[in-house]
Amino acid sequence: MTFKSINPFSQEIIAEYEALTNSQLNKKLELAETAFKNWKNTSSQERADKMQKLANILRANKEKLGLIITSEMGKIISESIGEVEKSASNCDYYAEHAEQMLKDVYYDTPFKSMSVYDPMGAVFAVMPWNYPFWQVLRYAAPAIMAGNVTLLKHASNVIGCAKAIENAFLEAGFPEGVFQHIGIEIGQVESVIAADIVHGITLTGSEGAGSSVAALAGKHIKKTVMELGGSDAFIVLNDANLEKAAEVAAHSRMLNAGQACICAKRFIVTEKVADEFVSLFAKSMQSLQQGDPLKKGIHLGPLARLDLAETLASQLEKSLKQGAKLVVGGEYENCNFQPTLIDFVAVDSVAFQEETFGPLATVIRAKDENDAVAIANNHRYGLAAAIWTEDREKAYKIARNIEAGNVFVNSLVRSDSRVPFGGVKKSGYGRELGAVGIKEFVNMKSVVIE
């Protein structure tokens, strides 16, 4: 099988890559095993020095690496460079804090007892194309700082990014086999999950891929972390700062051309302020420039693949037939989808029920605050949500009632190395980032000494 990297803006083929044969894959698994034997015994300091070097390499090459991201998946160049910088900061963070996070924990018992954190082996990662650097460094930096090695199966349209990340690890002095990109077909995934050296699996991607990989991991009794889809609610209440909310609403929906798991997707607005909010939101959306992702002044580029634009167009068409009203946009050509806003979206319509992965914002009108929270929770996904109100106490109470892994008040939902991140319901389980993220793939071993 051949993987093609296609520039979504120009539709040019950038490169073609052959999938690994089974015997090439076995060699990579053997290399991971050999590398782990040494890597697990390295000191925290040695790991931190290399991780810090990796961060510096990423930063020093951010323009070049950003260009690889933009040409393979189409996000605007400033966002690509920002993604490389953020990935570097995540390496800084775990280089600085991993040792402290994994310190032995002692218990109050009449005998000596403690927990120690041992590495597990290889972590197998299945990753998506939408943040092709950030998603990878987000799991790989803590996993490797904990003494694990890793095998990455990246999305098949961003193999150039996978290779660039692997090269950066080697340049930083990580021994061969500590971080390996493996260009494999879906049919080869089970053999990696089954391999003895693999003890943990992390997947960021769609619900379907998560369900399939988690089922295989269950069959082979391997620990998993699942970071899946979302349809985040953005709740606007009567007392919200509507101008600010509308400005952030457009930003939050159009981030990465609408292709982020934590893009706000369902804008749930109380009836009293809905007309005003929709009019401000429409204005913010109309001010966005779409075009060549390499040009200055462009706010959103193309979608990453043609099939994604076609799926979004079909979701829009069905939702309009189901009674939604088009306010802004609605057209697309090739991968370029206009920023689109629809209002009066019903809870049983496609735009509400399904994850919409592109620049389509849907407004749902709620009777009041309680109705808004009920609508937000009436969903299969539970990744994140935003609440807009000037009453911080009320916001806290609502936040506690929202069924999601992350709730932000009067702000854009975003990930941060210091703050645990993950979802509930069909958005997955487990947490990345922060001190809990590094503990997902370690053996927390109890040691008792009489």
CA separation for the pair 106, 191 (Å, rounded): 39
b/e sequence 124-154, b meaning 16+ C-beta within 10 Å? bbbbbbbbbbbbbbbbbbbbbbbbbbbbbbb
Query: Which one, 227 or 403, has the nearer CB to ligand NAP?
Result: 227
Could you say which residues in the range 93-122 bind ligand NAP, by CB under 6 A?
none
Least distance in angstroms from the C-beta of 443 to ligand NAP: 25
Comparing every residue's Cβ against ligand NAP, the nearest one is 205
Contact pattern from residue 118 through residue 147 relative to ligand NAP, giving x for each residue in contact according to CB under 6 A and a dash for the rest: --------xxxxx----x------------
Q: What's the chain's length in residues?
A: 450
161 belongs to the binding site for ligand NAP (CB under 6 A): no
Could you say which residues in the range 188-227 bind ligand NAP, by CB under 6 A?
189, 204-206, 209, 212-213, 227
Both structure tokens of 71: 């040409």
* Burial status of residue 321 (CB atoms within 10 A of its CB: 0-12, 13-18, 19 or more): exposed
Which runs of E-coded beta strand occur in 61-139?
105-106, 112-119, 122-126
Catalytic-residue membership of 227: yes
Query: Which one, 201 or 376, has the nearer CB to ligand NAP?
Result: 201
Least distance in angstroms from the C-beta of 415 to ligand NAP: 8
Q: Which residues contact 20 (CB under 8 A, 6 or more apart)?
A: 28, 182, 183, 184, 188
SS3 102: coil
Could you say which residues in the range 250-309 bind ligand NAP, by CB under 6 A?
261
SS3 382: strand
Q: Which residues contact 26 (CB under 8 A, 6 or more apart)?
A: none
Least distance in angstroms from the C-beta of 140 to ligand NAP: 14
CA separation for the pair 54, 171 (Å, rounded): 8
Query: Which one, 139 or 281, has the nearer CB to ligand NAP?
Result: 139
Least distance in angstroms from the C-beta of 416 to ligand NAP: 13
Query: Which one, 70 or 135, has the nearer CB to ligand NAP?
Result: 135
Out of 72, 91, 166, 261, pick the active-site residue: 261
Spell out the alpha helix ranges (H) of 102-241: 134-145, 159-171, 189-194, 207-219
Query: Which one, 186 or 447, has the nearer CB to ligand NAP?
Result: 186
Least distance in angstroms from the C-beta of 1 to ligand NAP: 9
Q: Which of 186, 326, 347, 419 binds ligand NAP (CB under 6 A)?
A: 186
b/e sequence 185-207, b meaning 16+ C-beta within 10 Å? eeebbbebbebebbbbbbbbbeb
Out of 83, 227, 403, 432, pick the active-site residue: 227
423 belongs to the binding site for ligand NAP (CB under 6 A): yes
Q: Say which DSSP state 178 is in.
A: S
Least distance in angstroms from the C-beta of 187 to ligand NAP: 9
Least distance in angstroms from the C-beta of 256 to ligand NAP: 9
Query: Which one, 228 or 237, has the nearer CB to ligand NAP?
Result: 228
Q: How many residues bind ligand NAP (CB under 6 A)?
A: 29
**Catalytic residues, which ones?**
227, 261
Residues near ligand NAP (CB under 6 A) are 126-130, 135, 153-156, 186, 189, 204-206, 209, 212-213, 227-230, 261, 355, 357, 383, 423, 427-428
